[in-house]
Chains A and B, each alone.
Chain A
Amino acid sequence: MENENKSPYLFLEYEDVQRSFADLNISLLEGRHIQISDSRIFHLLESYPEELKHYYESLYGLELTHDKYDNESYYYLNFPLDSKGKLSESSRYKLLSDQNTIIGIMLLNIYHEKFFDKEKEVTWDDLVKIITEGENSNLYRKLWFNDIRDNYDHLDWKKKFYDKISNTLKEFQKLGWITGVFPQKSGTEIAQIQEGLRFQINVSINRFAKLYEHEIHHFDKFVETYHKNHVERL
């Protein structure tokens, strides 16, 4: 009987919740994916999963999602199917830009290609190698430099590649998908970027696999439908 009257928000009065809830709430609403390296707020999510799930569902109309990959958990807020919950105002959600989508799918692949590596680390040299020697080299060269050449000079790498991707990398760091060091765009020599750029891809990059779950799992069918629709649009 006593339990029936218990408020589902009672947990907000607990000392550990009061200490960390503000940070957790802001991070989740900003779109951050919380994983073990976010120690304190991750601990809160692990301690009160049901209470917090109910909290976001009833007050924000959002789903607090718990995903797992490689035996590592990560949490994030997700929209329910066909709705944006209480965040329907356009300033409260964002469409992933084309560049962010491309880089996200690229990083998802790098993460999986390093399945057996303890550290999913990426350096400037790794990125250059992927673009100039990887299996999609020509597609990357065309995408970033607009032409396919054997060599690109330092200015090309700086202006056409790094200056563009650095914003995405910083955004991804805020979202919890990567953790690292990103040299400033302005006033930075290419040598500083070559030596300084270094980041770790986090387990939550698998959110991209969730975002494009249907397309990846039913790839052949997806491509078939995509091309069919493309012809119809023409």
Chain B
Amino acid sequence: MEQNLNQIYQKYTQLLPSREEGMVIFHLNQRIKSEDIDTCFSRSDIENVVQEIAKLGVGDSTPNVSRIINQLLQYFLENPPQKPYRYQLTEYAKRFLALVENKLNNRLKDVPLKESFEQFALPKSGQITNIIQLNQWFELGFTDNGRKLVTRHLEAFKDDVLSLTKKLNGILYMEEQNARFKVESFAEIFGELGDRSDQIGETLALRNSLDKEIDSLVDSFYQKIEEFKNPTNEQEQTQFNTLKHDYERALEIQKEVNAFFDIVDTKFEQIVEKMQYAMSKFEDLKDNLRYQSKFKINTRRFLKFTLEQAAYNRESPVLNVGFPKRYLVSESFKFINVNHIRFLNPPKRQVRKRTKNEAYVNQARDKITKKFGSQHKIREWTQRCKQILIKEGKLDFTEHFYRILDEEKDVKIPLAVSHELVRFVSDNPDYEIVIKKEILTEFRSKDVLTWKTKINHHTYS
């Protein structure tokens, strides 16, 4: 492995092209597709492409064509057989182009996820009876189909959330559009996000069936060992070892499937959190959209004005003398504040155009209104619980759980509130959750049962 890493490190710059070199590959491929140049192109074709790329502002304004060609000749370009003065894209270059194309326009995301997963990835009851069949299902059904499908849908969902969030931010700054248009645009976007989220959520729920199926397979392999009598000769010992090996392989497969779904669950939850945040922001906006939009537009105009009033200076930029200045409280102490630092991944951005479908927009709007309703309740209850916690330093969550359930008649709401509170506590080390494995007598008759749960500020623990 170490040797492999060393090899990658040494060849990294040749394996992955620079932006300038990459753009040359993309441009050459486009020209081949549009039949402007032959699949076996000339050096002057490459020179033309390099010059065009330079005009886009990528890389040097006077690029060194020989250097670029030499660099690309390592893995991306080759001389076709019998044509020493011509060039063609290598298989590696084609795979690289396909990889990027897939990332930008993920075709699999339009394939119905749940049905495909059920068809390819779920082991059919009774069809697997030995380890060879289980291996086949794992390699072909799960790894090659199910895992890829879920991963790509998840990637597509993440890209959608990021690009649509960017679009949402943009709508707020549309000066020429009225509030109604903006609300409709928001609803349309949330509808798109909600549909994809539902589809992935439903598929992840299939995990239960998958777990059950694999559990019973693993049990059946174990059963075979149990039923095998104690080996008394070499032949029986070999048979016993084979059964043991089959059982261990089945366990390995079970572990890999579980690990995959655990990662997917976490990623899915992170993306859904981003989506829910955007939805809750929209809810905040509903009553003061016009005001917020105007405020944001004016803030942007104020920034432009500030920059127009500023000038370069060797030490640091300076503002025009007449620009209004502001004071801050600043008593200095010899004291160092240790700040809370969070490390986060940079968001990826991608823009994708969509056509408008009126019927779909209306359906999406209804759906989103329903979602907002429960989202609003969750936020309201969470706020109330947090306020009690901050004010009183403690909260009997069991009591609140049933209170919420009684009032809202929807178990998803108290569950979501408990999830929010667990996150709040994990972000705030001053609080702790105390769970006692007992069910209080007064709640024993309820349909949903929960352990006795309290949240305390550390001063009360």
A144 contacts B281, CB within 8 Å? no
Q: Mark B44-82, 1 if CB is under 8 A from A, else 0.
A: 000000000000010011000000000000000000000
**Distance of B89 from chain A, by nearest CB (Å):** 28
CB under 8 Å from chain A, chain B span 308-337: 308, 310-312, 315-333, 335, 337
CB under 8 Å from chain B, chain A span 49-89: 62, 70-71, 76-79, 84, 87
**Distance of A174 from chain B, by nearest CB (Å):** 7
B103 at interface, CB cutoff 8 A? no
A229 at interface, CB cutoff 8 A? yes
A98 contacts B317, CB within 8 Å? yes
Among listed B176-184, B339-347, B414-422, B446-454, interface-contacting one: B339-347
For A138, give the chain B residue with the smallest CB separation.
B307
**Distance of B320 from chain A, by nearest CB (Å):** 8
Bound complex: CA A233 to CA B311 (Å): 18
B430 contacts A198, CB within 8 Å? no
Contact A94:B330 (CB < 8 A) given known A115-B281, A143-B311: yes
**Distance of B233 from chain A, by nearest CB (Å):** 64
Bound complex: CA A179 to CA B343 (Å): 10
A121 contacts B346, CB within 8 Å? yes
Return chain A residues, CB-CB under 8 Å to B321: 233
Bound complex: CA A29 to CA B315 (Å): 29
A30 contacts B330, CB within 8 Å? yes
Bound complex: CA A164 to CA B429 (Å): 36
B248 at interface, CB cutoff 8 A? no
Among listed B28-36, B222-230, B298-306, B365-373, interface-contacting one: B298-306
Bound complex: CA A32 to CA B459 (Å): 26
Contact A93:B330 (CB < 8 A) given known A47-B390, A164-B316: yes
Return chain A residues, CB-CB under 8 Å to B299: 105, 108-109, 112, 209, 216
A116 contacts B281, CB within 8 Å? yes
Return chain B residues, CB-CB under 8 Å to A6: none
A116 contacts B168, CB within 8 Å? yes
Return chain B residues, CB-CB under 8 Å to A181: 341, 343
**Distance of B387 from chain A, by nearest CB (Å):** 9
A29 contacts B329, CB within 8 Å? yes
B197 at interface, CB cutoff 8 A? no
A215 contacts B324, CB within 8 Å? yes
A109 contacts B318, CB within 8 Å? no
A46 at interface, CB cutoff 8 A? yes
Number of contacting residues on A, CB 8 A? 85
B326 contacts A96, CB within 8 Å? yes
Other-chain contact of B284, A29, A36, A70, A87 (Cβ < 8 Å) = A70
A13 at interface, CB cutoff 8 A? no
A140 contacts B328, CB within 8 Å? no
Q: Mark A200-234, 1 if CB is under 8 A from B, else 0.
A: 10000000010110011101000100100110010
Bound complex: CA A71 to CA B376 (Å): 13
For B307, give the chain A residue with the smallest CB separation.
A139
Return chain A residues, CB-CB under 8 Å to B61: 150-151
**Distance of A29 from chain B, by nearest CB (Å):** 4
A118 contacts B273, CB within 8 Å? yes
For B292, give the chain A residue with the smallest CB separation.
A115
Bound complex: CA A233 to CA B322 (Å): 9
Interface range on chain B: under 10, 10 to 19, 20 to 34, or 35 or more?
35 or more
B295 at interface, CB cutoff 8 A? yes
A40 at interface, CB cutoff 8 A? yes
**Distance of B392 from chain A, by nearest CB (Å):** 10
A79 contacts B273, CB within 8 Å? no
CB under 8 Å from chain B, chain A span 137-180: 139-140, 142-146, 150-151, 164, 173-175, 179-180
A113 at interface, CB cutoff 8 A? yes
B459 contacts A98, CB within 8 Å? no
B329 contacts A173, CB within 8 Å? no
Return chain A residues, CB-CB under 8 Å to B337: 27, 30, 32, 174
B240 at interface, CB cutoff 8 A? no
Return chain A residues, CB-CB under 8 Å to B281: 70, 115-116
Contact A219:B317 (CB < 8 A) given known A94-B328, A102-B310: no
A95 at interface, CB cutoff 8 A? yes
Bound complex: CA A62 to CA B337 (Å): 22
Return chain A residues, CB-CB under 8 Å to B173: 113
A16 contacts B459, CB within 8 Å? yes
Bound complex: CA A150 to CA B61 (Å): 9
B282 at interface, CB cutoff 8 A? yes
Other-chain contact of B328, A37, A96, A209 (Cβ < 8 Å) = A96
B329 contacts A200, CB within 8 Å? no
A29 contacts B333, CB within 8 Å? yes
A30 contacts B316, CB within 8 Å? no
Q: Given A115-B168, A121-B346, A233-B322, 15 other A-B contacts at CB below 8 A? A: A29-B331, A30-B330, A30-B337, A31-B328, A39-B429, A71-B284, A79-B327, A92-B330, A116-B278, A116-B282, A144-B312, A151-B60, A179-B342, A180-B341, A198-B344
Chain A: residues with CB nearer than 8 A to chain B?
Answer: 15-16, 26-32, 36-40, 43, 46-47, 62, 70-71, 76-79, 84, 87, 91-99, 101-102, 105-106, 108-109, 112-119, 121, 123, 125-126, 135-136, 139-140, 142-146, 150-151, 164, 173-175, 179-181, 198, 200, 209, 211-212, 215-217, 219, 223, 226, 229-230, 233
Q: What are 13 contact pairs spanning A and B, CB under 8 A?
A: A26-B335, A36-B428, A39-B429, A70-B281, A96-B326, A98-B318, A121-B344, A136-B304, A142-B312, A181-B341, A198-B343, A212-B302, A219-B298
